[in-house]
Chains A and B, each alone.
Chain A
Amino acid sequence: MKVMAAPPETAILQVDDLSVCFETSRGSVQAVSGVSFAMAKGEVYALVGESGCGKSTTALAVMRLVPPPGRIRRGHIRLGDEDLLALSDEAMADVRGRRLAMIFQNPLVSLNPVYRAGSQIEEAISLDSVPRPVAWRRAIEVLGRVRIGDPAERALRYPHELSGGMRQRVMTGMMISRTPDLLIADEPTTALDVTIQARILDLLMDLCSHSGMALLIITHDLGIVAEIADRVGVMYAGSLVEQAPVYELYEDPLHPYTRMLMRALPRLGKGQGRLETIPGSVPDLIALPAGCAFHPRCPERLAICASQTPVSRVVGGGRTVACHRGEVDR
């Protein structure tokens, strides 16, 4: 079943019923199962969840960069009026450079070690037929925008001459230099110190509110989500179990998994109570439990949870939840 979380006419990204699997010798790994969400222009949407929940695979699917043996088995992905899964590889490559960009946790994935920091951004900018000298000037401007001190000098440095935090900012600069419609950031600040992280997050939010760029941020860090997201999708074992505006999600989480995750966070001082833990462990994606994938760990499970997969339902206020319990309670 499809659930629209933002009206389609304003959606910049619309993902419908996306399923991605990896065929392995052990069997078919269901990395993403029936994920649907939409993002508006200028919106910051966070996909959050623990390792292996499918959040990164979802992002790679939007980029059409799911590595083999993975493949998109089902679903639709639209960027504006473009049906991404129907595009030729060439057309998709063009969309990727122009309208869609992605920053990764490890900036060395995207930076070429033999080119100066400024040249890499200059090259990205000159793809829009901007003359080189102008592109170089703009590259230096971009480095300033990503809060790199002394940008004219740093533009001449090679990636290995820069600190990890600066490399991350150079890559971010490269990705935003052409102002994409949608920027995907996969754990963009995990390797960074908090003061640098704060600056990158400020910068990304700034871009969204001023240029209308939409940001899909993939993270396991509920602190970062609280800091920058407008709306949040919580993933568990390949499924989107809950979607909500950020304030509602933190104040009144509806899905038992989200609730337990929130209570597992250390928010207090020493001796002010134990943290909640989630019993059991994440299921094997090759042999997902029948019914709701969370039911074996769920303290609130009903009989139906072991046999029927809960369908994502709109519960008002821009929220969706996939839980049988909610059908009775709310």
Chain B
Amino acid sequence: MPMATAPQAPPSWPLVRLDSARKYFPIRGGLFGHSARYVRAVNNVSMTIERGETFGLVGESGSGKTTLARLIPGLLRPSGGRVLYDGRDIARTHGGELNRLRRRMGIVFQDPASSLNPRSPVRASIRRPLDLQGVRGREAERRVLETIDRVNLGREVLDRYPHQLSGGQQQRASIARAIILNPELVILDEPTSALDVSIQAQILNLLQSLQEQIRLTYLFITHNLSIVRYMSDRIGVMYLGKLVEVAPAEALHDRPFHPYTAALLSASPPLNPRLRDRKRYRLEGDPPSLISPPPGCGLHPRCPFAVEVCSERTPPLVEAAARRLVACHRWEELTLKVGPGA
């Protein structure tokens, strides 16, 4: 598809599509570095991200959400399955073509330091994607100024070094760098986790206005359930490298279908002391290792609702209702309710 002309009707396929995507990391072991064992960071994930939506991805540490996010721009190659961006298989895209695909995506990390060079003024970091595309001189400066305007940064910050900026300013600068090539998709990996509440609010508001103004699609990764609900149209929940539930944000909060979602929702503090006595779904023990995940459903050793079949067969991700997917043998029998959404 030509870059310059915006199509009247968007294509019918999703912007991002994962088909049984897997990412296994070999573990060095054995005498000669043979590796027979793998960390199954992303294990058979199928999902889509539609144009213009915010897809929130939640899960605890080790759930695979960050690895999944790195598969989409091809920062990691899948070990199996397919990752399609605008219909094109990232793993089969190379060189200049891969570069052209990648510049349609931006990434913002939790730690702004990972996208801002500490030894250069902020201008250089924001402009870097333009340099790589061969945009220089006055045109580059014009676009830098236009972009920092969009993220509400003053021009005075451009000549400062990252350490001279506040945490909020640093994150604005990272966002500026991520959007300077006018991408369609921005991957936001815990973008506000390191920030104070008042700064977090500024960044979340900024991300929402940017989405409205320049029609961005977001993949928003976080462990914070209140933030993901505020930001997302749809939410995917990951556990042990698998997607266990996908649903519209409100529906997921009102009535989760998967016991893990219910446990996650009921464990996260609801910002309202009156909800202390809400119904809680508690999981037994700690998450198992990604190297030897339990057979069947990965949650069964911890799940209060597990029955025999759960330890025998892996539940497939099935369509449970309109726009809702769940991977649980018992979802139809269970009525999970976490109390008034807070």
Residues of A within 8 A of B (CB): 50-51, 149, 163-166, 193-199, 220-224, 226-227, 229, 246-247, 250, 260-261, 264-270, 274-278, 281
Per the 8 Å Cβ criterion, residues 194-246 of B in contact with A are 196-198, 200-202, 204-205, 208, 223, 225-227, 229-233
Beta-carbon nearest neighbor of B193 in chain A: A190
27 inter-chain pairs at a CB distance below 8 angstroms, sorted by A residue, are A50-B197, A149-B285, A163-B286, A193-B60, A194-B264, A194-B268, A195-B283, A196-B286, A197-B267, A198-B267, A220-B196, A223-B226, A223-B268, A224-B269, A226-B275, A227-B269, A261-B198, A264-B200, A264-B201, A265-B197, A265-B226, A265-B271, A266-B231, A270-B54, A270-B229, A270-B231, A281-B166
- Known contacts A165-B286, A195-B60, A226-B269: does B196 contact A275 (CB below 8 Å)? no
Residue with the highest number of chain B CB atoms closer than 10 Å, among A195, A223, A261, A264 = A195
CA distance A267 to B253 in the complex (A): 12
B198 and A266 contacting across the interface, CB-CB below 8 Å: no
By the criterion CB–CB under 8 Å, are B197 and A261 in contact?
yes
Closest to A53 in B: B196
Select B201's contact among A199, A229, A276, A281, beta carbons within 8 Å: A276
Contacting residue for A226 out of B54, B229, B271, CB 8 A: B271
> Whole-angstrom distance from the CB of A159 to the nearest CB of chain B?
16
Contacts of A247 in B (CB 8 A): 273-274
> Known: A195-B263, A250-B273. Contact between A270 and B202, CB under 8 A?
no
> 1/0 per position for B257-276, CB-CB distance to A under 8 A?
00000011011111111111
Residues from chain A with Cβ under 8 Å of B201 in the complex: 264-266, 275-277
Pick from A164, A198, A227, A270: contact of B273, CB under 8 Å: A227
Q: Tell me if B335 is interfacial: C-beta within 8 Å of chain A.
A: no
Interface residues of B in 156-215 (CB under 8 A from A): 166, 168, 196-198, 200-202, 204-205, 208
Contact B197 A268 (CB under 8 A): no
Which A-B residue pairs are the 5 nearest by beta carbons? A223-B269, A266-B230, A193-B60, A198-B267, A275-B201
A16, B276: Cα distance in complex, Å: 31
Indicate which residue in A266, A270, A274, A278 contacts B226 across the interface (CB closer than 8 Å): A266
Complex alpha-carbon distance, A275 and B226, angstroms = 12
How far does the alpha carbon of A50 sit from the alpha carbon of B249 in the complex, in Å?
Answer: 28
Total B residues in contact with A, Cβ cutoff 8 Å: 46
| Bound CA span A260–B198, Å | 8
In the complex, A194 Cα to B228 Cα: how many Å?
14
Q: A166-B286, A221-B269, A250-B273 are in contact. Are A278 and B264 (CB under 8 A)?
A: no
Quote the shortest CB–CB distance from B301 to chain A (angstroms): 10
Known contacts: A222-B197, A267-B271, A269-B249. The answer to whether A193 contacts B223 by CB under 8 A is yes
Q: Knowing A195-B283, A274-B208 touch, does A223 contact B223 (C-beta < 8 A)? A: no
Task: Chain B residues near A220: list those with CB within 8 A.
Answer: 196-197
Within 8 A of A (CB), among B19-74: 54, 60-61
Q: Which residues of A contact B324 (CB under 8 A)?
A: none
Give the distance in Å from the alpha carbon of A222 to the alpha carbon of B249 in the complex: 22
CB distance from B238 to the nearest CB of A (A): 12
B280 within 8 A of A: yes
- List B contacts of A229 (CB < 8 A): 273
Nearest chain A CB to B249's CB is how many angstroms away?
6
Q: How far is the CB of A231 from chain B (nearest CB, A)?
A: 11
When the two chains form their complex, are residues A267 and B342 in contact, meaning their CB atoms are under 8 A apart? yes
Instruction: Report whether A149 and B286 are in contact in the complex, using a CB–CB cutoff of 8 Å.
Output: yes
Cross-chain contact B196 with A51 (CB below 8 angstroms): yes
Known: A223-B268, A270-B232. 14 other contacts (CB 8 A): A50-B198, A194-B267, A195-B263, A196-B286, A198-B266, A198-B267, A220-B197, A226-B275, A227-B269, A247-B273, A264-B197, A269-B229, A274-B205, A275-B201
Residues of A within 8 A of B342 (CB): 267
The CA-CA distance from A270 to B229 in the complex, in Å, is 7
Cα(A246)–Cα(B233), bound, Å: 32
| Whole-angstrom distance between the Cβ of B232 and the nearest chain A Cβ | 6
Choose among A51, A193, A198, A221 the residue that contacts B280 (Cβ–Cβ < 8 A): A198
Contact A246 B271, beta carbon cutoff 8 Å: no
Most interface-central of A226, A266, A276, A277 (chain B CB within 10 A): A266
Bound: A195/B60 CA distance, A: 8
From B204, B253, B276, A266 is in contact (CB under 8 Å) with B204
Q: Are B225 and A269 in contact (CB under 8 A)?
A: no
* Distance between B138 CB and nearest chain A CB, rounded to angstroms: 33
Q: How far is the CA of A265 from the CA of B264 in the complex (A)?
A: 19
Q: How far is the CA of A194 from the CA of B273 in the complex (A)?
A: 17
Tell me which residues across on chain A come within 8 A of B249, comparing CB atoms: 269-270
B89 part of interface (Cβ distance < 8 Å): no
- Chain B neighbourhood of A164, CB < 8 A: 61
